[in-house]
Amino acid sequence: MSSAAKTVVVALGGNAILQPGQAGTFEEQLVNVDGSARRIARLVSAGYRCVITHGNGPQVGNILIQNEAAAAQVAPMPMDVCGAQSQGMLGYLFEQCLINHLRRLAAAVPVCSLLTETLVEAADPAFAAPSKPVGPFYSAGRARELALEKGYAMREDAGRGWRPPWAPTSC
């Protein structure tokens, strides 16, 4: 690849990887990632350097639900660790799919994934009232049930359904 190659950033939302209405199975997410990777591989084979970034709200939410459901048998992990777990899973899926598509296009380009971390101020008042919803979408009725049963502070999310905002943890 030429040093004059243009770099593009491809930003995928977590809902592009686990789409609303899907159960979140490995196969569903793999198909969604593979479709994106196929298109990104075409950009790479056309001479672009690509940086892929992705959201992971639905995936982290599902991991948190798995934590809660298994808490009696396995110690649950904090949200930041669940975020890293999700990044690793999605990075792995993107690497595998992208490498496979690049091979089909005879483009010998290295691919790697990175886990990222954001440093935030521990005293940030936003920690007292989290507003970023993560996880699956629920109907208004199910959201009311979860609020009563589990104490979740459910929030309506852009007309797509109800989700709980999760408070991040810090080291």
Q: Are residues 107 and 136 in the same domain?
A: no
Average pLDDT, the chain: 88
Under the banding of pLDDT at 50, 70 and 90, the label for residue 103 is very high
Domain presence at residue 96: yes
13-61: per-residue pLDDT in tens? Answer: 888 998 878 888 999 999 999 999 999 999 999 999 999 999 888 898 8
Q: Are residues 73 and 17 in the same domain?
A: yes
Angle at 36 between CA 135 and CA 28, to 5 degrees: 45
pTM over 0.75: yes
CATH number at residue 72: 3.40.1160.10
> Under DSSP, is residue 10 helix (H, G, I), strand (E, B) or coil?
strand
Q: Are residues 65 and 27 in the same domain?
A: yes
Phi, psi angles (nearest 5°) of residue 123: -90, 10
Phi, psi angles (nearest 5°) of residue 10: -105, 115
What range defines the domain where residue 33 resides? 1-117
Number of domains in the chain: 2
64-78: per-residue pLDDT in tens? Answer: 889 888 989 999 998
Query: In the prediction, which pLDDT does 129 show?
Result: 75
Under the banding of pLDDT at 50, 70 and 90, the label for residue 167 is low
